């Protein structure tokens, strides 16, 4: 299929930048449309797959990336192009089925992860959950299709979600490690390739464990307590401990 034929595909299964170019009068979550320039650059460098344009793999990948963009940045589900709004349902690991309105209100991180030892969805909002993981992965938490096993209307595919843990996660220091999740999904789509429902299957426990292996950064209380326990007066030792009381923090930021 050539570029002209590719452009004849529904907009929501073309590149998400094309979807953004065609978006007008959208209720953007942060006031303006997202900029995927850095994400596109990192995908070009780090992806393990290079799907030819307009292949089934590229179409599925574009559809999911468009869906992710709309969920993350379009506050009104009625403006989502990638799903059948009234019928859409999403679940993970055989759990609760969520509507488009549910996803728009809570965010995918909260609905996918829930309450666990290292992440409490009940304590997070849509915005705070996004900030938490954007802080942990400042260069992006990227996503790609690895394989597609069945064609529409029931599309089964394997995917990879990854990023470099170079920012802090809560009060855990970054390790610089590439952290990834590999999972499977089954999406039922319409004749024009809009998502009716999608089920995701993945293990997030290892993912969260990797985000909580780094040492917790020193606190001001911990710093002074350590000096006190050594029988030293903090005021006389501030510039002797690496000459800066913030040095322990600087080393992990």
The model's pLDDT over 51-96, given as tens digits with 9 standing for 90+, comes to 999 999 999 999 999 999 999 999 999 999 999 999 999 999 999 9
Name which residue leads in pLDDT, 228 or 185. Answer: 185
| Ramachandran assignment for 170, one of left (phi > 0), alpha (psi -120 to 50 degrees), beta (any other) | left
Residue extents of the structural domains in the chain: 3-211, 220-250
Top-tier CATH class for 3-211: alpha beta
Confidence of residue 6 (pLDDT cuts 50, 70, 90): low
The model's pLDDT over 180-211, given as tens digits with 9 standing for 90+, comes to 999 999 999 999 999 999 999 999 888 899 99
> What pLDDT does residue 94 have?
94
Other CB atoms within 10 A of residue 8 CB? 10
H/E stretch holding 185 reads strand 178-189
Q: Measure the CA–CA gap between 61 and 159, rounded to whole angstroms.
A: 9
Q: Measure the CA–CA gap between 98 and 89, rounded to whole angstroms.
A: 5
> What pLDDT does residue 143 have?
97
Please tell me the pTM assigned to this model.
0.82
């Amino acid at each position: 299929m050539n570029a002209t034929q590719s452009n004849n595909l529904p907009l929501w299964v073309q590149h998400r930048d094309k979807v953004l170019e065609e978006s007008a009068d959208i209720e953007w979550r942060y006031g303006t449309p997202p900029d995927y320039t850095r994400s596109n650059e990192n995908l070009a460098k780090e992806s393990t797959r290079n799907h030819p344009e307009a292949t089934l793999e590229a179409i599925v990948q574009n559809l999911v990336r468009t869906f992710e963009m709309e969920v993350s940045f379009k506050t009104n589900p009625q403006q989502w192009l990638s799903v059948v709004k009234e019928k859409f349902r999403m679940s993970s690991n055989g759990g609760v089925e969520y509507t488009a309105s549910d996803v728009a209100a809570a965010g995918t991180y909260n609905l996918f992860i829930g309450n666990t030892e290292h992440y409490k969805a009940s304590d997070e909002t849509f915005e705070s959950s996004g900030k938490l993981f954007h802080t942990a992965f400042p260069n992006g938490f990227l996503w790609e299709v690895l394989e597609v096993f069945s064609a529409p209307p029931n599309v089964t595919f394997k995917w990879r979600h990854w990023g470099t843990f170079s920012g802090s996660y809560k009060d855990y220091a970054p390790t610089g490690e590439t952290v990834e999740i590999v999972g499977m999904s089954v999406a039922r789509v319409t004749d024009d390739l809009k998502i009716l429902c999608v089920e995701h299957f993945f293990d997030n426990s290892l993912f969260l464990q990797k985000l909580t292996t780094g040492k917790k950064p020193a606190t001001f209380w911990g710093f002074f307590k350590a000096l006190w326990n050594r029988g030293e007066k903090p005021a006389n030792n501030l510039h002797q401990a690496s000459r800066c009381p913030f040095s322990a923090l600087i080393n992990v930021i």
